[in-house]
Structure 1
Amino acid sequence: METGREVQVGERGNVDRRMAGKAVAVVDTNVLLNLAIPVVDNRSKAPTGEDPFKTLLVSYDIHVPDSVLGEVTDASGGDDLLSQAAKLVLRAADSLTTHDVRDEVGEPVDYGLDRGESEAIWLTNNRNVDFLITDDFGSTKYLLLNLALEDRNKLFTTPHILCTLAADGALHPEYVEEALTYYFETKSWDGKYVGLLRERYLR
């Protein structure tokens, strides 16, 4: 990974983080919101003791297109759990490096992907990025993301990143076990896929 590079035109964020040698990750809107949800969820079913959203921001150099923050802002207008998660993400916006790439991308990629996803793909394909994290697994959209990426090995899922953070010692494995169950029950994550990740990283 290239470190200490100059800031590109249209980028905003904490430049010092680029010097820290962290892996650079592009994330889409749902990744940010879903990792923030258990932090603001006070129900008994929510995992406690860790903060997966903060851990993501601390562990990786997180980049997003401007449109992703726009989508997060749109989600913050209510009082439900998703809105609370969106407000948490917005409060941490200074920890994200944002990119205005609308002119470069033009119209969304013609794969049934929205603007945020299309611009995230463009960033991954055109900047020095180590991986793209998505929540769109177990669906046709995941296959479309694979087709749009120039390097398919850069595509990771939210549960995969959670398990990787556990394997690296950034999150406690027991917390990740609880979080995976929580997401399986609340987000209908694919049970077989999550089970394979558990066997590989948490057992």
Structure 2
Amino acid sequence: MIFRLDDRLVFPNPTLADEDGLLAVGGDLSVERLLLAYQNGIFPWYSEDEPILWFSPHERFVLFPADLQVSKSMRQVLRSGRFKVTVDTCFDDVVEACSAAKREGQDGTWITADMKAAYSRLNQLGYAHSVEVWQDEQLVGGLYGVHIGDVFCGESMFSKVSNASKTALIWLCNTGQYQLIDCQVYTEHLESMGAQMIAREDYIGILHNSIA
């Protein structure tokens, strides 16, 4: 059963999501609703021609910074000084660049105009952050996501040159600020860096302990 949200600021129990992780439809992208969603292991993911869809997958693809795997060649890239990394200097530009790439398993961009506006508000209020990677003063890679407790809920990443997005993720892991990076959905690229699947219950437990 897929729940339809109304004006009330509530979500159903995440364990009621269907086999694809779809939990609810509708609602809005207000700051309050988005924060409530992330605090309970729920995130929006939909296309421009769809209503807002809210997901809580049965398994969560995550990266524990302590498990980060960096290849020998990538270590050489990091030592080379090829890239410069900044934080929150051009959040909207990072989101825009991410929107140009398709998310695996979905046609077209899932970062709609409403999504861009919503996450920009979260950034202005200090809840969402971007990591930017620069080469020769040009933005060549980065990622953005939502900070809940000491969990970073990654939303999307992009790379215009080889290894730029990897540099952003490695930098994020090495800040020491997060016990967990939520990658949401599986990719071979992230698995090669140490990401793994964990049960939704385990993820939500870590999330709630982090908030507490």
Shorter chain as normaliser: what TM range? 0.3 to 0.5
TM-score normalised per structure 2: 0.33
TM-score normalised per structure 1: 0.34
